[in-house]
Structure 1
Amino acid sequence: MELRPEQLVAQLGLDRPEPASLHPAYLIAGPEPLRVLEAADAVRAAARRAGIAEREVFEAEGNQREPDWNALSATFRAPSLFASRRLVELRLPSGKPGKEGAEVITDFCADPPHDVTLLITAGEWSKQHGGKWSEAIGRIGQVAIAWQIKPHELTDWIEKRLRARGLRADHDAVQSLAERVEGNLLAAAQEIDKLALLSDGQSLDRERMAELVADAARYDVFRLVDATMNGQGVQVSRMLAGLRAEGEAVPGLLGMIVMELQRAAALARVQARGGNLVSEFKAQRIWDSKQPMYKRALARHASPRWDAFVAEAGRVDRIAKGRPRYGEEPVDAWLALERLLLAVAEPRATRLLVG
């Protein structure tokens, strides 16, 4: 049975004293990155509570289009060297493992090793993505799909999340926050986390909501992304300096930045092949008020460049986490991020990028 991510999280029972029994496999996929991320984090937390200390991650590396399926299959068969149980993660951004990958997953589900819990996450999903491999997971485990939150569902989602953070807000306040984030769940979640820190415990009305959001957003990542996509290089540098001074961390900014770069890359590919950009805006859930910003960005860079920007964001993330690849130039993560965003904002700045 297909679950919502929130249903899966509830079943894992992280708020209960006894750890939940884990299924052999989990598939969490969908176009809402925040809901996928939080459900996957819940599985990881449940694994830790169950005493699973060893974790392996498989994903495409470098120029590879797919993970190393032979290595994954060998991992399933090999006994753990360091722990009695393992969490094996498989990351499939496209949601398609291909023929070889589907066979590896199906074979695992046919006879799941007693010491392995498999967690598969995917950033894309539709009714056409499923197949025998995902059905096999459903038979032995759980499948949770993070479908997009529709505009009329957003206020209810925000209200529930506010309550979960111990906040109360009237309908107008919730609506004002929904208008600000324009359907972006990650933006809404970050705003709510800020409100939890700034609120005095009183119920929020529209005026108080606007006041707190404004106080918390002098140099927020949403304005940084807007400045980048709108080609405002000077503002990008100033905002990055402000974020750094306020104690923000580069990895905390990259989630939103990568998501917007991936959106732009998808739009650019559609535009390059003469496709329907209006339909792609709708598919990407980009509101009308934001579309001119993306059109300006697409006018500055052609399709291949956007894919390069996404790859560069991955390099920045590795630098920020202290895991540069062999041969990569040692560089400050903030400087690397600034170079990337300036290149997006101003084509002449692309010469700042490595490679």
Structure 2
Amino acid sequence: MATTLPNFRKQIATGDLKPVYLIAGAEHLLVIEAADLLRARAKVLGFIERDILDVEAHFDWSRLGDAGRSMSLFASRKVIDLRLPTGRPGKDGSAAIVEFCKSPPPDTLLLVTANDWSKKHEGAWSTAIERAGTAVTVWPLKREEMPDWIGARMAMRGLKATPDAIALLAERVEGNLLAAAQEIEKLSLVHAGKTLDLETLEASVADDARYDVFRLTDAAIGGDAGRAVHIVQGLREEGEEIIPMLGWMLTQLRLLLRLASASNVDSAMRTERIWPSSREGLFKRALKNGDRLHWERCLNQAGRIDRIAKGRGDGDAWRELERLVAAMASPRRGAVLITS
């Protein structure tokens, strides 16, 4: 069964869960939070054990079947957390997922998450998931939907705000849900239980020239290598963590890869709904200088940084991040900058 995100939230709130779920979409924050919601509900229902399978290059798909057949050490129900960032399992992966869905193991829940999705991603494997369980497609919010989303999230954090204050925040974050969520978290620490008016919000979210990942990504895409590297250094000095930053960077790199693969870039940009439209110039510049292979290299470099930051690889994650943003800004030097 295919469903929407609001219906998904309602469905898992009561009763038992389906044996298989797919949560897919390019809106990274919404995918993460939907998956977290499902895991929390599963835990309440006794799914205590959890196997995490990160699908990377040369992933051994027999691990999915093995995870389904292995008995729990604690006689509890188990979640198999299959992370498929690209939304493309390939021939072997598709076959493995289809086989799993034919007869899902008892007391086991398979959660497949993908951070990229379109009609082109659909196949026998996603159809099998819909038949055996539930598929949730997470589409980016439209511009006119942002104020309601911000208001609802504020309410969840014990905040109230006037309509003009919410409109200001929506304008400032320019459609970036992660940026909005971060601002709301900061506001909740200071103004919980209060009603924020326009003046208060302006003072709270004033641009104090603090370096952040959104400015960093735009500087890199826009070709300003010096500024991008300087921002990385500023983030490091401020004690920021790399892993949370990579989510937004990966989203933008995957977008660049999709655009670089499109036969008509202008049409693809309209489909992708780049917001605000002023950012289209950044992407056009990047696409003019970097081809599909370059953006694939950048994605691979981001994956390497993620592994280093998680202790699964050797190297200096911050140094590799500097190399990545420099390569993004200077595609013609990319092969040299991000080749070990």
* CA distance 1:212–1:103, shift in 2 (3 Å): same
**Which residue in the other structure is 1:86 paired with?**
78
Name the residue aligned to 2:321. 337
C-alpha contact 2:159 2:192 (8 A) present in aligned 1? no
Matched, 1:60 2:55: yes
Paired letter, 1:168: K
State whether residues 53 and 83 of structure 1, in contact with CA within 8 Å, keep that contact through their aligned partners in structure 2: no
* Offset at residue 138 of structure 1 (A): 3.9
Contact 1:183 1:285 in 2 (8 A): no
Consecutive unaligned residues in structure 2, runs of 5 or more? none
- Report what 1:279 is aligned to: 267
| Residue 291 of structure 2 corresponds to residue 302 of structure 1 | yes
The size of the alignment, in residue pairs, is: 338
Q: How far apart in 2 are the matches of 1:88 and 1:9?
A: 20
Q: Is 1:120 aligned to residue 112 of structure 2?
A: yes
Contact 2:52–2:82 (Cα < 8 Å) also in 1: yes
2:16 is equivalent to residue 8 of structure 1: no
Distance 2:332 2:101 in 1: 51
Cα distance change, pair 20–318 in 1 and its aligned pair in 2 (3 A): farther
Contact 1:2 1:144 survives alignment (8 Å): yes
Task: Tell me how far apart the structure 2 counterparts of residues 222 and 124 of structure 1 sit (CA, whole Å).
Answer: 19
- Alpha-carbon shift at residue 95 of structure 1 (Å): 3.7
Q: Give the deviation of 1:108 after TM superposition.
A: 3.0
- Cα deviation for residue 89 of structure 1 reads 2.2
Against the structure 1 CA distance between its residues 34 and 310, is the aligned structure 2 distance closer, same or farther, given a 3 Å change threshold?
A: same
Would the alpha carbon gap of residues 349 and 207 (structure 1) be closer, same or farther in structure 2, given more than 3 Å must change?
Answer: farther
Q: Deviations over 1:259-308 (max 9, x none)?
A: 111111222222xxxx2111111222213111011122223322211110
1:352 aligns with 337
Using structure 1 for the length normalisation, give the TM-score.
Answer: 0.84
8 Å CA contact 1:28–1:121 kept in 2: the answer is yes
Q: 1:200 to 1:123 in 2, by over 3 A?
A: closer
Matched, 1:311 2:295: no
Structure 1 window deviating more from structure 2 (296-305 vs 132-141): it is: 132-141
Instruction: Find the residue that maps to 1:72 and give its secondary structure.
Output: helix
Aligned position for 2:36: 41
TM (normalized to structure 2)? 0.87
CA contact (8 A) 2:68 2:108 kept: yes
- 1:257 to 1:132, Cα distance in 2 relative to 1, 3 A: closer
Cα contact 2:213–2:248 (8 A) shared by 1: yes
Match of 1:16 in 2: none
* Code of the aligned partner of 1:281: M
Letter of the structure 1 residue corresponding to residue 312 of structure 2: R
Flag the 1:49–1:216 CA change in 2: closer, same or farther, 3 A.
farther
Distance between the aligned counterparts of 2:261 and 2:95, measured in 1? Answer: 30
What CA distance in whole angstroms lies between the structure 1 residues aligned with 2:149 and 2:94?
A: 34
List runs of 5+ in structure 1 lacking aligned partners: 14-18, 325-329
- Identity over the aligned pairs, expressed in percent? 46
Deviation at 1:98, TM superposition (A): 5.4
Measured in 2, the distance between the counterparts of 1:83 and 1:354 equals 47
| Alignment check: 8 A CA contact 2:78 2:109 kept | yes
Work out whether residues 54 and 83 of structure 1, in 8 Å CA contact, stay in contact via their aligned partners in 2: no
Give the Cα–Cα distance (whole angstroms) in 1 for the partners of residues 208 and 312 of structure 2: 31
Post-superposition offset of 1:313:
0.4
- Cα distance in 2 between the residues matched to 1:21 and 1:128: 31
Instruction: Say whether the 8 Å CA contact 2:157–2:192 is kept in structure 1.
Output: no
Q: Distance in 2 between matches of 1:349 and 1:146?
A: 35
Change (3 A) 1:132 1:321: closer
Deviations, residues 45-67 of structure 1 (Å, cap 9, x unaligned): 333344434322334333x3xx5
Q: Matched residues in 1 for 2:179 and 2:5: separation?
A: 18
